[in-house]
Chains A and B, each alone.
Chain A
Amino acid sequence: MGNFELRNKIKIQRAIKNITQDELAAKIGVTRKTINTIENGRFVPSTILAIRLARFFEIKVEELFELIEK
């Protein structure tokens, strides 16, 4: 998105909850590849998926995803 970069804390939150990408994918109902690409910043999730991830980790979307101006 031009001058913006979306960073996320999925890896940190996974470590807190002690779950693997595989387990998170199953809980959210997506493939592990989807979680992997979001976690590495290769794919920007939709609002729905972002909210579902935040809800799973019991934090706000803004806490899970951070929009950084380059």
Chain B
Amino acid sequence: MDTSLIEKLDKSRYSLMKWLTICWTVWYGTYIAKDLINNRLINGFLFLIGSIGWILFTVNLVKTIRLGKKVKSDSKLKEALNNEMHQFYSYKSFFWGFWIVIVTNGIFLVISSFYQISALIACELTLYFGILFSFIAWLVFNRD
């Protein structure tokens, strides 16, 4: 098996995940912030930043899917890049994301006893933190 190809693809995957994390933070973060701020000028600026984040997120997502297809097409590459350690860390990352979703929901539940919270904002923030922490956990577990 070509070691340089495995290493190259492994590094590409890590880099793509890093970009997905950054773009998700920017795109969805600004998207939620727009709902919380009532200033046309700031909202326009957030829309611009968010749009760039969304474009970059989409580009990196397509790249990630293409990389996944390339890895799946070769059984040796698939075995090397999707081995037990990577599977274990992926499950662990989902586990962290799941707990963040539960904790975020719990916090909103407590806050809702004292203040009225918009259901839309609560759902958006839960989704935002759940996915963000899954990405971050994946990056931390798979660091070199």
A binding-site residues for B, Cβ under 8 Å: 22-23, 25-26, 29-34, 36-38, 43, 45-46, 49
Contact = CB atoms under 8 A, between A and B. Distances in A.
Contacts of B85: 30-31, 33-34, 37-38, 43, 45
Contacts of B80: 25, 29-31
A22 B76 CA distance: 15
Given A26-B1, A29-B1, A43 B88 contact: yes
Contacts of B81: 31
Interface stretch (B3-11, B23-31, B116-124, B129-137): B3-11
Q: Is the interface of A mostly helix, strand, loop or mixed?
A: helix
Contact of B10 (A23, A26, A33): A33
Given A31-B6, A31-B85, A33-B144, 8 more contacts: A23-B3, A29-B79, A31-B86, A32-B6, A33-B85, A45-B85, A46-B84, A49-B84
Listed residue (B79, B85, B144) with the most chain A CB atoms within 10 angstroms of its CB: B85
Nearest to A48: B84
Interface in B46-95: 76, 79-81, 83-86, 88
Contacts of B142: 33
Given A33-B142, A33-B144, A25 B6 contact: yes
A66 to B, nearest CB: 20
Listed residue (A26, A31, A43) with the most chain B CB atoms within 10 angstroms of its CB: A31
Interface string B5-37: 011001000000000000000000000000000
B7 A30 contact: no
